[in-house]
Structure formats: C-alpha cells, structure tokens
Amino acid sequence: MKGHGGGRIFLLPLGTLEPALLEGILEDVKAVIPLPLTLLDAQPHPDYAGEPAGRQYDSTPILKEVLRMAPADALRIVGVTEADLFMHVLSFIFGRAQLGGKAAVVSLARLRPEFYGETPDGKRVAERAAKEIIHELGHTFGLVHCDLPECVMYLANVLRQIDRKSREFCGPCRERLDAALSAACEY
C-alpha cells in the first residue's frame, strides 16, 4: 500500500453509546484494518427509520443518512446504533453495507447478551461489534461472504456464528482486502 492518501475510516455513533464500548470497538478494528480510524460526534438515534410498532428500524434510510454524513475525507464510514435493524427481505440484521461502496451500519441491539435475557457483558458486545464492523467494512471494499466459519467474512445469521468466527480475515480474504485497500488508497 503506498499510503492512505488522506482517506480515513469514520465510526459514527447514532444515539447515545457508552464511551468505553466505543473505545473497545475502535481498538479491535484498528488492530485488523490498517487505516486511520476516527470516532465522530454522536448523532441522534435514528427515530426517522422506526416502524409503527416502534421495535425495529429500517436499515435502508439509516444507511443513506450515514452516507450523507460522511466527511469529505472519508474513505469509509460506519454508523453504529442501538436500534434493532431489519431490511425488506430479512426480519433482522446485525449489519449492512454497500458492497463496494462507502457506507455501512451495525446494530448493537442483538449483539447484547441482555437482548436474550442474559447478563450484560460490555467486553463481549465490543468484540461482537468489532467483528461486525470489520465484516461490513470488508463488504465496502468489495469482499463477499466466505465459506470458512472462522473468517470474519463468514455470513453470521445467529449470534453463535459471530462468537465462533475470528475478527481476522482468512488468507484469501486478506489478500483481496489488501488489494482493495491498495487500490482505494492510491492517489
């Protein structure tokens, strides 16, 4: 990679999120993605995307809003929210990204043990969130789902699949990511 050409990855909190949780997520993502990572000021909770029952939020308008809020020097931007997300074909999602695009969004709602009636565990939430953010960033750099369950690009439909996989890319996915990062960062 010749350099990052001023491009940065931004993490955008949507709503009130614990500072310690955000710091844990940032450290885990920085360990895997070799680009500058910056935490933006929190924006309001995405109430505009809520469904009438008020329990879930449509990821499509949130993703569009995250993209709209991207700073000029953003190589990528990831919104992070407590909102329980869905998309028109799935009743819930952990995250969503523009394949080969600039923006992604990740929900913490179903990553929290307390969502399932278990004891809260901030460290576990940070680990799961980092895996999901890294996964969605992989999509923004053009990576698709991997068949290896330990690869961060493995499709996770249930929490145990997130817990089982690593935050790291397998060899072939890492090569694809590195090539995409080089192409994106050359100016």
> Which residues are tagged catalytic?
136
- Residue pair 10/30 in contact (Cβ under 8 Å)? The answer is no
Contact status, residue 88 vs residue 60, Cβ threshold 8 Å: yes
CA angle, 47 then 48 then 50, to 5°: 65
Q: Which two tokens stand for residue 27?
A: 């450290």
Q: Taking every pair of C-alpha atoms in the chain, what is the biggest distance, in angstroms?
A: 49
One-letter amino acid of 28 = D
Amino acid identity of residue 72, one-letter, is A
- Give me 129's structure tokens: 């969130």
Q: Are 132 and 97 in contact (CB under 8 A)?
A: no
